[in-house]
């Protein structure tokens, strides 16, 4: 795993995730007014397709421009998941329980963080640019 991916993982590890949920004084994020709206968004086909589209652009670009690095994709995903699983269990279970959130909350956050880490891992090759990705800053909000 590259250093910028490790740095992003460290940011997630030290952040209090969702501490400002529903507060409108945060820049660079779309603020939703309640958990029901957040769950509706994370369950939406648009949210899922946005992440899938970005991952497809990333993997297609890697396949075209850096096949040797592309061959590492599954291994990197496995490494990232091993790193984030303990963090997510400790950070998300309390939020999920306190707000009576469905399991899709955990799954959505997990995959959004994996995708953010994969973008970081390959950012020296591919910059996804203006695609409206599920930005990792949303989790620190």
Residue-wise pLDDT for 74-111, tens only, equals: 999 999 999 999 999 988 988 899 999 999 999 999 99
* pLDDT on residue 129: 59
Q: Determine contact, residues 10/19, Cβ cutoff 8 Å.
A: no
Span 50-76, average pLDDT: 92
CA pair distance 64, 51, nearest whole angstrom: 20
Structural contact between residues 73 and 62, judged by C-beta atoms closer than 8 angstroms: yes
pLDDT tens-digit map of 9-54? 999 999 888 877 767 776 666 777 788 988 998 899 998 888 889 8
Is residue 97 classed exposed, middle or buried when 0-12, 13-18 and 19+ CB atoms within 10 A define those classes?
exposed
Q: Which of the 8 DSSP states describes residue 29?
A: S
| pTM confidence score | 0.83
């Amino acid at each position: 795993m590259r250093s910028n991916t490790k740095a992003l993982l460290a940011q997630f590890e030290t952040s209090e995730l969702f501490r400002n949920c529903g507060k409108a004084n945060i820049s660079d994020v779309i603020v939703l007014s309640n958990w029901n709206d957040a769950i509706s968004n994370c369950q939406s086909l648009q949210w899922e397709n946005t992440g899938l589209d970005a991952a497809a652009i990333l993997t297609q670009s890697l396949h075209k421009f850096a096949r040797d690095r592309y061959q590492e994709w599954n291994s990197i995903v496995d490494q990232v998941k091993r790193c984030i699983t303990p963090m997510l269990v400790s950070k998300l279970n309390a939020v999920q329980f306190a707000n009576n959130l469905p399991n899709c909350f955990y799954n959505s956050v997990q995959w959004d963080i994996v995708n953010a880490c994969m973008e970081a891992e390959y950012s020296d090759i591919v910059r996804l640019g203006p695609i409206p990705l599920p930005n990792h800053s949303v989790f620190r909000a």
